[in-house]
Amino acid sequence: MIIRCSELQKICSKILLAVDNNISSNINETLAIYTEANFLYLAVTNREYYVKIKLDIQEEIEFNATVAADLFLKLISKMTTETVEFKLSDNYLIIIGNGTYKLPMIYDGDELLKLPEISINNVTSTFDVNTSILYSISNYNSKELSKKFVAANPVQNLYYIDNKGCITFTSGACVNKFTLPTTVKFLLNDKIVKLFKLFTEESVNVNYGNDTLNNGVVQSKIKLKTDSVELTAIINSDDNMINSVPESAIRQRAFDNYDYSVVINKKSILDAVDRILLFSETLLSSYGKFTFNKEMITLSNEREDNSESIYYENALDNDIYYTAIFDLTDLRLIISGVKSDYITLNFGNSQAAVLIENNIYNIIPECIV
């Protein structure tokens, strides 16, 4: 079997994202390479999720091999030939490219190791989602979970998704506002969300369902699929945990009417935060004082002996004087993820501010120090 090296390298770079190196086992470290009709498939699993990627090889060939994922993927990434040839000989996969390489195949007893696939027998919801929504969850909601925060509740380490959007919450919260065409409610972990990067087509088909195991346990599963990539995963099925997410209260805080709203240049505020952070008392004490008036924000460190001002991009009708203290490290993390040149900041209730970029609402709690 001969394959164009550039095409093979593209799918290898994708499947590499799905190789789970956190747990060492034959299953986790194995790559399945097989054909069906005129398609070549590369597949990996960690028993929690199963990923397979398809490549059209334009001819029907019978082929089936299981090899060490890390070795195979690294070898292919370093090939510089126009084509790569695969052959099976005894218990080896022979790869011919810049040279000739023998990779031992992985067996379970006398049979080739077969990776356990994950299927959904009882699909309850099917819908399509724009890939840009998946990317926004990965890019924005993940910022909230990357804060240095000790979760009081395990659900605070997960992504809550329903037909109104996605919520992640720790000390603050990120509300990603979008609409799904059907009523759903589920939780995803960070491993699954990171795999959203596998999808490059404009739209992804999603199947969600609940299967009852032989022991009576209900297992929730989700499948995301395009023409070339398929991801199926076992996800959290604890209704009590799902319902523990205070989604109504969080969305109320995000979408509420605030006394004040200003538009700020993203680079200006980010640069100012970076400079003021240099004067933090300790690594664990990175608070900054924000003083708002009619024309500008004045940002200072805790002792207020270092400060600078950032002018608004919008004009305010009335004079204001409002002060608030925010954690600069958390604020910087959120602002650094903003893609737009300008951000909107709503504030004034003495509890939290909301930083808005398009359909992303980041709730930033005011601090008491």
Flag whether pLDDT at 211 surpasses 70. Answer: yes
Give residue 150's pLDDT. 73
Q: What domains, with CATH codes, occur in the chain? A: 2-112 (3.10.150.10), 123-245 (3.10.150.10), 256-365 (3.10.150.10)
* Residues near 136 by beta carbon (within 8 Å), at least 6 away in sequence: 176, 178, 359, 360
Q: What is the pTM of this model?
A: 0.92
Mean pLDDT of 258-271: 96
User: Which one is predicted more confidently, 190 or 28?
Assistant: 190
Nearest Cα neighbor of 31 from 57, 5, 53 is: 53
Q: Which H or E element spans position 195? A: none
Can you tell me the distance from the alpha carbon of 57 to that of 258, in angstroms, rounded to the nearest whole number? 58
Nearest Cα neighbor of 291 from 251, 243, 337, 324 is: 324
Q: Which span out of 27-31, 302-306, 344-348 was modeled with the highest average pLDDT?
A: 344-348
Residue 327 bridge partners (DSSP): 287
Flag whether pLDDT at 337 surpasses 70. Answer: yes
Give residue 148's pLDDT. 78
Q: Which H or E element spans position 44? A: strand 39-45
Q: Letter for the amino acid at 159?
A: Y
